[in-house]
Amino acid sequence: MDSILVKGGAELRGEIPIAGAKNACLALMPATLLSDEPLTLTNAPRLSDIRTMTQLLQSLGAEVSALQDGRVLALSSHDLTSHVADYDIVRKMRASILVLGPLVARYGHAVVSLPGGCAIGARPVDLHLKGLEALGAELDLREGYVHAKAPGGLKGAVVDFPFVSVGATENVLMAAVLARGTTVLKNAAREPEIVDLAACLSKMGARIDGAGTGTITIEGVDRLTGATHPVVTDRIELGTYMIAPAVAGGEVECIGGRLDLVSAFAERLDAAGVSVEETPRGLKVARRNGRIRAVDVETAPFPGFPTDLQAQMMALLCTADGTSVLEERIFENRFMHAPELQRMGAKIAVHGGTATVTGVERLKGAPVMATDLRASVSLILAGLAAEGETVVNRVYHLDRGYERVEEKLGACGASIERISG
């Protein structure tokens, strides 16, 4: 398995292009199942998770071609041959559950493997299932699979989510666009990925109102058409690269970055002593003079501080002046990076969902590894400022969500290379 070698100490200067959002693209791709006309997604990220979703859709009989070096995905579902999402694919990637809503909405039946546990928490899919049941789907759980039927088609309903779930909002939204009548999603997720999905579905002819707010209203239509849609900028990749010059020093312009996608995060960076400036091409980020200041962070659904940037923020705060408290409110087990950062000399105490980080002057390079994507990239960020060499092992996780991380950081002067193994 490949690893990444980082030699710490170099300031970063330059620009980093931000890709299309992995998590938006993973929800947009299954939208092809809702129509027999072609769906074209531009600004797609080139990531292993996107290839996994491609495989899953192809296993159902959809055509998916990666064009222009993977930047454009051409999808078509005019001739599906299967309605079964197999465990072998679903277990690799939880977002596979997003085919359930579209399949049952358009074909009236689907068999989708339940995703298992996950490194960052139990992550059940009960809200997805309850939402689809509210629309009239009959669900039966057998041998690890959800067997879904809606012989007479789905019917609009009020779905009031007990708490905010990005995936459940996406799944039920996709099902509702082809349901008869009106669906109201209450306590819906407001993430930019939801807004992007709704925008694409609307181009396909769906009637959706309120995406980006807590209440989304959908008037079902009989059929959807094809569309071409650019995937929204990846706010988590953006936030990750905004931390890079904050950790290492220097100034980086994140091309395509938008402040509205990361406002709560940028506010915390500002409080820590990092300047974030809007430019015609994106966001320019620089560490102000002096040491990073300690700040407290609490993750929350959008527009709050994203859980997917908590690990990277912790890497930054390891060398801050003072003590920071990070509260993880979305996932129950999302501090796996803490023991690895401790191996680099960080002072972190974890109690349940709270991590207390007491800044040290400097981290020291070490061999480290992580069991999820954001934890892995946080170790690379920590390595940028650490004394000596850091080797991040098991970068398979990294490749799920960051394209060419070593090239993007290397182009700004970081000493970083991939070691094939």
The single residue among 124, 144, 322, 339 that binds ligand EPZ, judged by CB under 6 A, is: 124
Window contacting ligand EPZ (CB under 6 A); options: 123-131, 240-248, 260-268, 284-292: 123-131
Q: Tell me how far apart the alpha carbons of residues 17 and 22 are, in angstroms, rounded to a whole number.
A: 15
**Minimal distance in Å, beta carbon 197 to ligand EPZ?**
10
Question: How are beta strands 215-219 and 182-186 bridged, if at all?
Answer: antiparallel
Residue among 238, 326, 330, 395 that touches ligand EPZ (CB under 6 A): 330
Active-site residues: which are they? 118
Examine residue 26 and tell whether it contacts ligand EPZ (CB under 6 A). Answer: yes
The answer to the question of residue 168 lying near ligand EPZ (CB under 6 A) is yes
Indicate the residue among 294 and 381 with the shorter CB distance to ligand EPZ. 381
Contact between 127 and ligand EPZ by CB under 6 A: the answer reads yes
Stretch in the footprint of ligand EPZ (CB under 6 A) among 120-128, 179-187, 248-256, 409-417: 120-128
From 80-88, 118-126, 138-146, 202-210, give the range in contact with ligand EPZ by CB under 6 A: 118-126
3-state secondary structure of 364: strand
Residue 232 interacting with ligand EPZ (CB under 6 A): no
Residue 388 token pair: 């000596």
Ramachandran bin of 157, using left for φ above 0, alpha for ψ from -120 to 50, beta for the remaining angles: beta
Q: What are phi and psi of 407, to 5 degrees?
A: -70, -40
234 forms part of the interface with ligand EPZ (CB under 6 A) = no
Among 10, 20, 23, 176, binds ligand EPZ (CB under 6 A): 23
Distance separating the N- and C-terminal Cα atoms of the chain: 5
Nearer to ligand EPZ, 287 or 334 (CB): 334
Residue 377 to residue 315: CA distance in whole angstroms: 9
Number of C-beta neighbours around residue 313 at 10 A: 27
Contact indicator for 348, 338 with CB cutoff of 8 Å: yes
Position 115 contacts ligand EPZ (CB under 6 A): no
What is the DSSP code (8-state) at residue 294? P
Residue pair 265/272 in contact (Cβ under 8 Å)? The answer is no
Using the rule CB under 6 A, is 401 a contact of ligand EPZ?
A: yes
> How much of the chain is in helix, strand and coil states, percent to nearest 5?
35, 30, 35
- Residue 304 as a binder of ligand EPZ (CB under 6 A): the answer is no
**174 interacts with ligand EPZ by CB under 6 A:** no
Q: Does 331 help bind ligand EPZ (rule: CB under 6 A)?
A: yes
Helix (H) or strand (E) holding 176: helix 166-176
Which stretches of the chain bind ligand EPZ, using CB under 6 A? Answer: 23, 26, 94-95, 121-128, 165-168, 307-308, 330-331, 373-374, 401
